[in-house]
């Protein structure tokens, strides 16, 4: 199958340092590709080259004539747009269905009338997603699509992408998202790409195998160089020609060894720990909080002990940050009480990565502009050494924060939070923008941390790996706590977090008791004349509506209709929408009456 887009031998250098040396990318129709690599390895840059936004220094970029591409940036640009609807519609091409813009905005919880200058991070991300999905392009290039999204929206996006024919190239730190969507992995490492015909689920195993083979090859090369150098120093002199050839081979081996760029090391994340807290860390009794008479938290109680790992999840706007503030004592409840245990030293990571002065350098951000050392666990350490633990090079220490990538800002915020001695870590979206390797190290650090952790996260895999219980909103300010990780919560709750009421499987005794109570209290039902008439005629009405929808759909399938006859197109769209609404209502009414008929006949 001919590729829709193909990049060959891409090279790009920034500031004298090669970012991409021999990068390649090939995407065919319908392929699901994840692009993985360390923060700063050039993933976003390669995606921008694919989208035609950056010109490489060398290499070729081929796009199939007529193929449509849409790129989702990490930071969308809303300039020139008065509303979110105009922003989304600007992404449509001539002939695209304008109804899709409004439809997708509504699916993503937006009206289309929002002022882009007042959007939250999550709202901006949802508007940007609507913009790239609305045209139904041949290729979707998605750079961290799940950032700032709540779990409900992430799961909606997964379902939507699975149902589309578009080819996908995804950069994401969300393991579960990549597991569920990708079938091919392109690994960008040290400026070069490797294409692996496996989804992300199997990538890490393949990566470790490749790095182990690479290390073995370098070990063999070192031994060969040592043997040749020994021959040069102590070998019996042979013919001059042969000596010259072997010396040239030795120089080539040395050059190969010098040119080898080893894999980037792992971050060395260590949390500075204070003295142990008491056994009780936080106890909340019947706490409530209202905003404008709307219940955010209603009659919630919990007890958090030392070494607990608590995850708080829920849709955006459900009150996660408010609950966290109540539990940590930074916000007073309207009713109820919160008791903080003894000897508590708290360190927190804010969700807002832009809260620091962008004019500061990395060193100033770590020391708050005071000196060039930091205190970690009672030990003084030079800021350069500490920042190297978080994969910052010594040259970056004087870099202004405005020049950092999202992942680098995330690592900086972690470095600041974990430098403070603590026995209670409060983390609001700690995984945002972190690369997968740094996420692994963060998970290990939290597992080894002897204190207590409370975190808000939308990363399902991270929650499953780290937390011991999950607190979830149930609607109307009610919150419940479930033992285990995110997957355990779903199994116990019987519904995803979009549902406001948890579903529990009743026991056989409970079912029999409920059925007996219902039979004793409810009046006997019967079908009246109108019900019987509707039962007889609704199937004919449903068949007629299905035929009408089929006819209208075949009319709308004509790609030239919009350009040829706009009025006919709009009339067909209105008619099919009404027919679909009528069909849903008819089917629901028929089902209700059919269940009533079975109940009456079985009584």
Tokens of 475: 């609607």
Report the pLDDT value the prediction gives residue 403, as an integer from 0 to 100.
78
How many Å apart are CA 526 and CA 549, to the nearest integer?
Answer: 34
Is 338 within the bounds of a domain? yes
Is 190 within the bounds of a domain? yes
- Ligand-binding annotation for 487, yes or no, is no
Is 372 within the bounds of a domain? yes
Report the pLDDT value the prediction gives residue 501, as an integer from 0 to 100.
41
192-196 vs 373-376, strand pairing mode = unpaired
DSSP H stretches of helix in 390-435:
406-419
Tokens of 251: 């120089």
Identify whether residues 229 and 293 lie together within a single domain: no
What CATH number is associated with residue 558? 1.10.287.380
pLDDT classification of 507: cutoffs 50, 70, 90: very low
**Are the C-beta atoms of residues 42 and 53 closer than 8 Å to each other?**
no
Identify whether residues 237 and 187 lie together within a single domain: no
How many Å apart are CA 146 and CA 181, to the nearest integer?
Answer: 13
Residue written as token pair 């699509």: 145
Report the pLDDT value the prediction gives residue 509, as an integer from 0 to 100.
39
Most confident range (mean pLDDT) of 31-45, 218-232, 358-372, 436-450 is: 31-45
- Ligand-binding annotation for 336, yes or no, is no
- Ligand-binding annotation for 329, yes or no, is no
Is 435 within the bounds of a domain? yes
Identify whether residues 182 and 284 lie together within a single domain: no
What CATH number is associated with residue 448? 3.40.50.300
Helix (H, G, I), strand (E, B) or coil at 352: coil
Identify whether residues 551 and 469 lie together within a single domain: no
Q: pLDDT digits over 18-48, tens only?
A: 889 999 999 999 999 999 988 778 899 999 9
Identify whether residues 46 and 139 lie together within a single domain: yes
Closest-CA residue to 345 (of 287, 418, 294, 410): 418
Mean pLDDT computed over 382-394: 79
Identify whether residues 350 and 479 lie together within a single domain: yes
**Are the C-beta atoms of residues 124 and 144 closer than 8 Å to each other?**
no
- Ligand-binding annotation for 494, yes or no, is no
pLDDT classification of 516: cutoffs 50, 70, 90: very low
Q: Which residue has the higher pLDDT, 566 or 202?
A: 202
Is 458 within the bounds of a domain? yes
Mean pLDDT computed over 374-398: 77
Report the pLDDT value the prediction gives residue 502, as an integer from 0 to 100.
38
Tell me which of 29-43, 469-483, 546-560 is least confident: 546-560
Instruction: Report the 10 Å Cβ neighbour count for 157.
Output: 22
Q: Which residue has the higher pLDDT, 418 or 27?
A: 27
Q: Which residue has the higher pLDDT, 555 or 270?
A: 555
- Ligand-binding annotation for 317, yes or no, is yes
Tell me which of 99-108, 141-150, 244-253 is least confident: 244-253
How many Å apart are CA 590 and CA 530, to the nearest integer?
Answer: 12
Q: pLDDT digits over 60-75, tens only?
A: 999 999 999 999 998 8
Report the pLDDT value the prediction gives residue 333, as an integer from 0 to 100.
94
Provide the Cα torsion 493, 495, 499, 504; round to 10°: -50
- Ligand-binding annotation for 314, yes or no, is yes
- Ligand-binding annotation for 475, yes or no, is no
- Ligand-binding annotation for 39, yes or no, is yes
For 506, which DSSP code?
P
The region that residue 293 occupies, defined by phi over 0 for left and psi between -120 and 50 for alpha, beta otherwise, is left
Tokens of 60: 């070729």
Closest-CA residue to 150 (of 23, 36, 316, 266): 316
Statement: residue 53 has pLDDT above 90: yes
How much is the pTM?
0.69
- Ligand-binding annotation for 44, yes or no, is yes
Provide the Cα torsion 215, 216, 219, 220; round to 10°: -140
Is 272 within the bounds of a domain? no
Identify whether residues 304 and 443 lie together within a single domain: yes
Is 507 within the bounds of a domain? no
- Ligand-binding annotation for 319, yes or no, is yes
Identify whether residues 109 and 26 lie together within a single domain: yes
- Ligand-binding annotation for 40, yes or no, is yes
**Are the C-beta atoms of residues 12 and 42 closer than 8 Å to each other?**
yes
Identify whether residues 468 and 592 lie together within a single domain: no
215: CB partners within 8 A, 6+ apart? none
**Are the C-beta atoms of residues 73 and 143 closer than 8 Å to each other?**
yes
- Ligand-binding annotation for 15, yes or no, is no
- Ligand-binding annotation for 278, yes or no, is no
The region that residue 121 occupies, defined by phi over 0 for left and psi between -120 and 50 for alpha, beta otherwise, is alpha
Report the pLDDT value the prediction gives residue 495, as an integer from 0 to 100.
67
Identify whether residues 404 and 318 lie together within a single domain: yes
Most confident range (mean pLDDT) of 134-138, 218-222, 261-265, 563-567 is: 134-138
Domain containing residue 436: 280-493
Helix (H, G, I), strand (E, B) or coil at 434: coil
Most confident range (mean pLDDT) of 349-358, 379-388, 471-480, 538-547 is: 471-480
Q: pLDDT digits over 213-272, tens only?
A: 777 777 666 676 666 666 555 554 544 445 556 556 656 666 665 555 555 555 566 677
Is 316 within the bounds of a domain? yes
How many Å apart are CA 71 and CA 143, to the nearest integer?
Answer: 8
Report the pLDDT value the prediction gives residue 569, as an integer from 0 to 100.
74
- Ligand-binding annotation for 318, yes or no, is yes
pLDDT classification of 430: cutoffs 50, 70, 90: confident
Identify whether residues 384 and 359 lie together within a single domain: yes
Mean pLDDT computed over 524-546: 76
Percent with pLDDT over 70 in the chain:
82
Structurally, the chain folds into a number of domains equal to 4
Identify whether residues 252 and 286 lie together within a single domain: no
């Amino acid at each position: 199958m001919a590729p829709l887009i193909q990049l060959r031998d891409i090279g790009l250098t920034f500031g004298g340092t090669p970012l991409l040396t021999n990068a390649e990318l090939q995407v065919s129709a319908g392929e699901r590709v994840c692009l993985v690599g360390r923060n700063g390895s050039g993933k976003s840059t390669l995606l921008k080259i694919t989208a035609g936004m950056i010109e490489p220094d060398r290499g070729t970029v081929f796009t199939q004539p007529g193929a449509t591409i849409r790129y989702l940036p990490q930071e969308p640009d809303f300039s020139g747009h008065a509303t979110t609807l105009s922003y989304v519609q600007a992404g449509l091409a001539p002939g695209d269905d304008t109804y899709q813009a409004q439809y997708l905005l509504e699916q993503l919880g937006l009206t289309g009338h929002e002022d882009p200058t007042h959007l939250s991070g999550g709202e901006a991300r949802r508007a940007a997603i609507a913009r790239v999905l609305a045209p139904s392009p041949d290729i979707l290039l998605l750079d961290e699509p799940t950032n700032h999204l709540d779990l409900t929206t992430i799961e909606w996006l997964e379902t939507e992408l699975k149902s589309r024919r578009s080819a996908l190239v995804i950069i994401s730190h969300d393991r579960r998202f990549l597991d569920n969507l990708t079938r091919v992995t392109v690994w960008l490492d040290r400026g070069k790409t490797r294409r692996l015909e496996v989804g992300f689920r199997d990538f890490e195993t393949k990566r470790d195998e490749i790095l182990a083979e690479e290390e073995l090859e370098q070990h063999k090369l070192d031994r060969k160089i040592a043997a040749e150098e020994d021959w040069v120093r102590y070998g019996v002199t042979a013919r001059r020609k042969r000596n010259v050839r072997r010396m040239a081979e030795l120089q080539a081996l040395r050059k190969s060894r010098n040119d080898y760029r080893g894999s980037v090391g792992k971050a060395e994340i260590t949390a500075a720990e204070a003295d142990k807290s008491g056994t009780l860390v936080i106890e909340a009794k019947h706490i409530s909080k209202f905003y404008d008479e709307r219940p955010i938290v209603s009659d919630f109680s919990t007890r958090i002990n030392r070494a607990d790992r608590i995850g708080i999840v829920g849709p955006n706007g459900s009150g996660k940050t408010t609950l966290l503030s109540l539990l940590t004592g930074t916000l007073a409840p309207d009713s109820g009480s919160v008791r903080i245990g003894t000897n508590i030293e708290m360190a927190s990571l804010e969700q807002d990565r832009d809260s620091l002065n962008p004019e500061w350098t990395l060193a100033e951000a770590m020391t708050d502009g005071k000196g060039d050392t930091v205190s970690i666990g009672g030990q003084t350490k030079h800021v350069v050494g500490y920042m190297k633990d978080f994969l910052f090079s010594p040259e970056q220490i004087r870099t202004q924060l405005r020049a950092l990538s999202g992942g680098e800002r995330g690592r900086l915020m972690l470095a600041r939070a974990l430098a403070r001695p603590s026995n209670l870590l409060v983390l609001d979206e700690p995984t945002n923008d972190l690369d997968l390797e740094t996420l692994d190290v963060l998970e290990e650090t939290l597992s080894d941390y002897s204190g207590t952790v409370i975190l808000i996260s939308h990363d399902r895999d991270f929650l499953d790996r780290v937390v011991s219980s999950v607190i979830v909103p149930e609607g109307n300010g009610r919150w419940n706590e479930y033992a285990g990780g995110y997957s355990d919560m779903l199994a116990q709750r019987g519904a995803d977090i979009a549902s406001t009421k948890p579903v529990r499987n009743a026991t056989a005794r409970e079912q029999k008791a409920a059925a007996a109570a219902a039979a004793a209290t409810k009046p006997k039902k019967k079908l009246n004349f109108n019900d019987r008439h509707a039962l007889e005629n609704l199937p004919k009405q449903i068949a007629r509506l299905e035929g009408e929808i089929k006819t209208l759909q075949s009319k709308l399938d004509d790609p030239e209709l919009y350009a040829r006859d706009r009025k006919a197109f709009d009339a067909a769209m209105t008619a099919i929408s009404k027919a679909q609404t009528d069909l849903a209502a008819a089917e629901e009414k028929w089902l209700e009456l059919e269940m009533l008929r079975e109940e009456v006949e079985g009584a």
